[in-house]
Amino acid sequence: MTEVNRQFVLVKRPQGLPGPECIEYREGPVPEPGDGEIVVRNLYLSLDPAIRGWMDEGEGYRDPIALGAVVDGVTLGRVVKTRNPDYAEGDLVTGIHGWADYTLSPGSLNSTRVPADPPFPLTAYLGVVGPTGLTAYFGLLDVGKPQAGETVLVSAAAGAVGSIVGQIAVLSGCRAVGLAGTEAKCRWIVDELGFDAAIDYKREGDHLSEAIAKACPQGVDVYFENVGGPVLQAALDNLNVGARIPFCGAISGYNAEAPVPGPTNLWQLLVKRARFEGFLIADFAPRFGEGMEKLSAWVAEGKLRYAEDIVDGLEQAPQAFLKLFDGSHSGKLIVRIAEDA
Amino acid sequence: MTEVNRQFVLVKRPQGLPGPECIEYREGPVPEPGDGEIVVRNLYLSLDPAIRGWMDEGEGYRDPIALGAVVDGVTLGRVVKTRNPDYAEGDLVTGIHGWADYTLSPGSLNSTRVPADPPFPLTAYLGVVGPTGLTAYFGLLDVGKPQAGETVLVSAAAGAVGSIVGQIAVLSGCRAVGLAGTEAKCRWIVDELGFDAAIDYKREGDHLSEAIAKACPQGVDVYFENVGGPVLQAALDNLNVGARIPFCGAISGYNAEAPVPGPTNLWQLLVKRARFEGFLIADFAPRFGEGMEKLSAWVAEGKLRYAEDIVDGLEQAPQAFLKLFDGSHSGKLIVRIAEDA
């Protein structure tokens, strides 16, 4: 076990993509727990688009990462020191522990214990049976309310959340159509994940609206919104009466350096009596148990497949984070910080 | 009774405001009813922003007005000839009978009978106890779901719909804050209609967001959306968590000659887990009876006040219609086509 606590610290708020001038490498001592505290040895770090939003000042749904503070991010780790009676040494925990080897935590909701011997790799706790899967599960089922026989259109469909949304749509008896940015991703979500159809939105360019119409001959009943921009515009063109749009993210705008105008056809929400509704997974915390149980069962039964892109070494985190925004990964992006002891 | 049937016909789809080149005056014979039909003598014509949308090709929630056809519009009239057993001569009816002296109608939903001796002027059937009032009633209560103690922000608050929305909000125990475009309108909605506060959005200009924050110290729980553009943007800045936005119209864009970009801060819907939801009053038709009963009672009890801007003479309709878009009227805009016999 290294005695140095490697960390990445936010030193400058990014304009556009966060470059090396924004995220600084530092080393510090391994923390010692105070009364009621624990120290977590982080094993895996989840890289999520939302982190980019947390780097910005204001307008967010949580306090921005302070300048000089460790970059926030969900990790899976083990308790290595404890002065909190609710935790034993060796407990597996997840929480927003940040881009660091070791994290001092007050426990409780900041570090949630997870079962030690799951029927799947531990990394699934950061993805398909963790925040990613829960986002897909509650966003699609509770906000989108898909009915069997309906059509569910998913943006960023080869991404961590989108790939699960489409599979849950299929498990709910819906037609799942995915939007992805390469032919390989399109093939993957159809051939491996069981989406009914896929659209390469980059290839379609200005004809995306027509391509959606073709892939969704019965129209779109649920559009799972991850991206914003021209994709949202094209989706709005194809809504059915009474459509629902769970609003999970808008990655196309996260690194914009100027305000990005919204779609010109919001009017379609009125024409189609449609509902555009934002949600945050934290609001569903009281039901996480239900969601994890369902997701775990689907994974165990082979009904829910997932891909991981695991990058080795905490030192790779800043560079790997950029892959979220250039479309060069599929599935859940995770940094392996350390081998599990 | 004149024997000429004066009509206004759409001859060209407008770019921007509909000028004389788009709406042509014609005279024709008074129609004769075929089997099952009635002829309605229109007395009052309701001028509504939605008519502007019906003049455009495509993208609408109903078929556009055909070129060469009488301009659509809701009227109140009397049946003067009937070959339909459900209607007697003299019956009062409302329906989308158009900008004309006389209308041939198949009856049924096209011409809804209304009580002959209401405890209010007949014109109220076109406004506060007609489509306008029903739009406010169902849009606010069913889509907006205001709870007592919440803050309801209303755009176009001195307009026909908005002025009723704010009063129903107050009747529901909410704080009602109205956005209007002149100081006189602001005074009217506060002093006469009982809104808790009003904001002159033209005077506030670029500081509208701050003005809303000041007038809504507890934030905005329901934003009743009639206008779009910078007003929508400023409202989105001030949403509370769980806010609802009934989307009734977007008058700021109706005469735009190019696509109007949406707000740059749609992201606020996610941050605030808010719901932006379009509705059409026609979808509530099965419950119109309930709504009219409630609205009539409020009017009769003096709890719901309304203003009408009555323009004399069908020939004034095209010019009067433009008043909807330059902010030069308050309350419900109606053309008196003929004196009731």
| Residue-wise DSSP of B263-289 | -TTTHHHHHTT-EEEE--GGGGGGGHH
Judge: B259–A264 Cβ closer than 8 Å, yes or no: yes
Question: What is chain A's length?
Answer: 341
Q: Look at residue B59 in the predicted model and tell me its pLDDT.
A: 67
The pLDDT score that the predictor gives to residue A341 is: 66
Closest CA to B221 of B177, B286, B287: B177
d(CA B19, CA B9): 12
CB-count burial class (<10 Å; 0-12, 13-18, 19+) for A301: exposed
From CA A185, how far away is CA A198, in angstroms rounded?
9
pTM of the model: 0.92
Of the candidates B67, B102, B50, B233, the one whose C-alpha atom is nearest the C-alpha of residue B155 is B233
Distance from C-alpha of A233 to C-alpha of A218, rounded to nearest angstrom: 18
Task: Collect all residues with Cβ–Cβ distance below 8 Å to B235 and sequence separation of at least 6.
Answer: B153, B155, B212, B220, B223, B225, B245
Ordered mean pLDDT values, 10 residues apiece, chain A (341 residues): 86 95 96 97 96 87 94 97 97 96 93 89 94 96 98 96 97 98 96 98 96 98 95 98 95 84 94 97 93 94 94 97 87 93 66
| C-alpha dihedral, B73 to B74 to B79 to B83, nearest 10° | 70
Residue B292: its H or E element: helix B288-300
pLDDT for B341: 66
Distance of residue B177 Cα from the nearest chain A Cα, in angstroms: 23
Mutate to test the interface with A, among B277, B281, B283 (most CBs of A within 10 A): B277
Alpha helices in A152-283 (DSSP H): 160-171, 183-187, 201-204, 208-215, 229-236, 268-271
Burial degree of A109 (CB within 10 A; 0-12, 13-18, 19+): exposed
To the nearest whole Å, the CA of A270 is away from the closest chain B CA by 4
Strand ordering across the sheet containing B239-247 = A197-200, A175-180, A151-154, A220-224, A239-247, A275-278, B275-278, B239-247, B220-224, B151-154, B175-180, B197-200
Closest-CA residue of chain A to B253: A267
The residue type of A27 is: E
Element (H, E) at A25: strand A23-29
A268: chain B residues, CB-CB within 8 Å: 59, 278
Residue of chain A minimizing CA distance to B268: A59
Which residues share a beta bridge with B220?
B239
Residues A39-72, buried b or exposed e (16+ Cβ, 10 A)? bbbbbbbbbbbbbbbbbeeeebbeebbeeeebbb
d(CA A81, CA A89): 6
B314's tokens = 């069908």
Q: What is the distance between the alpha carbons of residues A131 and A121, in angstroms, rounded to a whole number?
A: 15
Task: Give the per-residue pLDDT at B2.
Answer: 52
Which residue carries 């009488």 as its tokens? B70
CB-based contact B94:B126 (threshold 8 Å): yes
pLDDT of residue A254: 82
Q: Where are the alpha helices (DSSP H) in B61-145?
A: 131-138
* Cα distance between residue B87 and residue A169, in whole Å: 51
SS3 state of residue B95: strand
Q: List CB contacts (< 8 A) between A266 and chain B.
A: 228, 247, 250, 262
Name the percent of chain A in helix, strand, coil, to the closest 5: 35, 25, 40
Q: Check residue B328 and give its pLDDT.
A: 82
Q: How many pairs of residues across A and B have Cβ atoms under 8 Å apart?
A: 98
d(CA A138, CA A91): 27
Residue A295: what pLDDT? Answer: 96
- From the list A7, A125, A130, A123, the residue with the least C-alpha distance to A69 is A7
Q: Which DSSP letter does residue B127 get?
A: T
Q: Best interface-test mutation with A: which of B206, B268, B276, B283 has the largest number of A CBs within 10 A?
A: B276
Q: pLDDT of chain B along its 341 residues, tens only?
A: 458 999 999 999 999 999 999 999 999 999 999 999 999 999 999 999 999 999 998 767 889 999 999 999 999 999 999 999 999 999 999 999 999 999 999 988 889 999 888 889 999 999 999 999 999 999 999 999 999 999 999 999 999 999 999 999 999 999 999 999 999 999 999 999 999 999 999 999 999 999 999 999 999 999 999 999 999 999 999 999 999 999 998 888 888 888 889 999 999 999 999 999 999 999 999 999 999 999 999 999 999 999 999 999 999 999 999 999 987 877 899 999 999 86
The secondary structure element, H or E, covering residue A39 is strand A38-46
Determine the 3-state secondary structure of B318 from DSSP.
helix
> B-chain residues within 8 Å CB-CB of A259?
264-265
State the CB neighbour count (10 A cutoff) for residue A147. Answer: 11
Answer whether A269 sits within 8 Å of B247, measured CB to CB.
yes
Contacts of B276 (CB under 8 A, 6+ apart): A269, A275, A276, A277, B225, B245, B247, B269
Distance in angstroms between the alpha carbons of the first and the last residue of chain A: 9
Contact B40, B105 (CB under 8 A): yes
User: A interface toward B at CB cutoff 8 Å?
Assistant: 59-61, 228, 247-250, 253, 259-280, 283
> Is the Cβ pair A278, B274 closer than 8 Å?
yes
List residues bridging with A202 in a β-sheet: none
